[in-house]
Amino acid sequence: MILTRTEESILQGESGPSARKAMEILVALGNIYGADSLIPVSSVQISGVSYDNLGNAGLEFLAEMAAGGGKTRVLTTLNPAGMDIEAWESLGIPPDFAENQQKVISAFARMGVITTCTCTPYLVGSLPHFGEHIAWAESSAVCFANSVLGARTNREGGPSALAAALTGCTPNYGYHLTENRCPKLTVTVETGLAGTHEFGALGMVIGKALEKSGLKPVPYIRGIPSATLEELKSFCASLGTYGGAALFHLEGITPEASLYNPPTEAITITRQDVETVVQSLSSQSPPAGPGSSESPDLYTLGCPHLSLKEIARIAELLQGKTVKKEFWITTARPTKEVADRMGYTAIIEAAGAKIAADTCCVVAPIGGRFKTLVTDSAKACYYAYAKHNFNTRFLPFDKVIQEVLL
């Protein structure tokens, strides 16, 4: 890989030990993937923020990078943490976990990372435009950035994203290159779809089809005349989870989709395909889990983090009512702050539900605390089952709220 003089000097340690470490990571990555050079990025989004995932080893690595003078060179934000940074007690987070989580956040802050902990940075001020090179890590956000915004990013790991933040660049390979963005499989959707939960189900159907094909081709998707922002973020989360996809072309929506003809290799998706996965997510019961007869004890909306419009809808449906179950509503802190100002938070909290900023039901340390989770998110169903050993039930957005009132 050919480095510029500045990049070479960082590698020689002239910008301090942390920047040198970061450059070493990027050079190693570039050599593995055959990149010819590094390219500048305009923003970074770092995953691996929850202490539940990082553990002590991860915390020590971050503390060392901060102590070694690491400083971000571009706009850098964080993925959700394991708790609401301000209101962790109300979520039942143990104090020792909270202490370690605070240390993680503070290490990032010392490096200049903006500590909005969210998987939807594009809703709160980190919004790359068409063709812009970025280095993001959260799979749903990567898929959204590539496919809805038309920006260019690979799916970074936590260390490679941090390395990009501390150097302002990333190896030029994968989805940064036009030739790798070309679609290879046409997917025709033959059914109408509505709402986040049906778009999540579609993401799972297509994701599993991509997995099955082995090569994980970039799909060119037809038959969806329109989709809301919320439906697209749900679809991206699901496709990234079940198919490992970081890029799709959705006809009429993806900015560069019109540059391509639909590939000849093709599959179709029917109503039955979507219904089948809706049913499967509504009856997941892990072998080591509590058993499918357990009645739901955790309801959640906000995977990916909710938009303001979604929070307004929840407030509308909860106005003057009382929830009967534990109900977590997860979002980015800046979104919650607007919800506070609009009175949505007061309505939701008066009903007994919890708005949790900075976190989500997947990265919070809640394994063993609940038995059955209800959500509109296909991605949350996957991790509730695989990570927490929960049963899952999968419902439309409004239906989740209606059920929590029963």
Interface residues toward ligand F3S, by CB under 6 A: 79-80, 119, 140, 237, 303-305, 330, 360, 362-363, 379-380, 383
Q: Please, what's the largest Cα pairwise distance for the chain?
A: 65
Structure tokens belonging to residue 404: 């929590």
Burial class (CB in 10 A: 0-12, 13-18, 19+), 258: exposed
* Complex with ligand F3S: residue 303 or 374, whichever CB lies closer: 303
* Complex with ligand F3S: residue 137 or 250, whichever CB lies closer: 137
- Residues in the chain, total: 406
Q: How far is the CB of 286 from ligand F3S (least distance, A)?
A: 17
| Residues 142/155, Cβ–Cβ less than 8 Å | yes
Q: How far is the CB of 10 from ligand F3S (least distance, A)?
A: 31
Q: Per DSSP, what are the bridge partners of residue 356?
A: 330
- Give the residue from 185, 234, 179 showing the smallest Cα distance to 210: 185
Structure tokens belonging to residue 393: 């039930």
Q: How far is the CB of 288 from ligand F3S (least distance, A)?
A: 21
Q: How far is the CB of 80 from ligand F3S (least distance, A)?
A: 4
The beta strand positions in 204-245, using DSSP E, are 219-222
* Complex with ligand F3S: residue 72 or 330, whichever CB lies closer: 330
| CA dihedral sign, ordered 311, 313, 316, 321 | negative
Q: How far is the CB of 95 from ligand F3S (least distance, A)?
A: 23
Q: How far is the CB of 71 from ligand F3S (least distance, A)?
A: 26
Pairing of strands 38-40, 169-171: antiparallel
Rounded distance between C-alpha atoms, residue 137 and residue 162, angstroms = 10
Rounded distance between C-alpha atoms, residue 254 and residue 224, angstroms = 12
Spacing of C-alpha 111 from chain mean position? 22
Long-range contacts of 53-57 (CB under 8 A, 24+ apart): 53/82, 53/363, 54/104, 56/100
Rounded distance between C-alpha atoms, residue 40 and residue 43, angstroms = 9
* Complex with ligand F3S: residue 27 or 44, whichever CB lies closer: 44
* Complex with ligand F3S: residue 43 or 45, whichever CB lies closer: 45
* Complex with ligand F3S: residue 18 or 330, whichever CB lies closer: 330
| Residues 72/108, Cβ–Cβ less than 8 Å | no
Q: How far is the CB of 55 from ligand F3S (least distance, A)?
A: 18
Rg (CA), the chain: 21
Q: How far is the CB of 233 from ligand F3S (least distance, A)?
A: 8
Structure tokens belonging to residue 235: 């679809």
Q: How far is the CB of 273 from ligand F3S (least distance, A)?
A: 23
* Complex with ligand F3S: residue 169 or 356, whichever CB lies closer: 356
CA distances from 51 to 100, 136, 213 (A): 7, 19, 35
* Complex with ligand F3S: residue 52 or 198, whichever CB lies closer: 52
The beta strand positions in 137-212, using DSSP E, are 169-171, 185-189
Q: How far is the CB of 240 from ligand F3S (least distance, A)?
A: 8
* Complex with ligand F3S: residue 123 or 221, whichever CB lies closer: 123
* Complex with ligand F3S: residue 140 or 146, whichever CB lies closer: 140
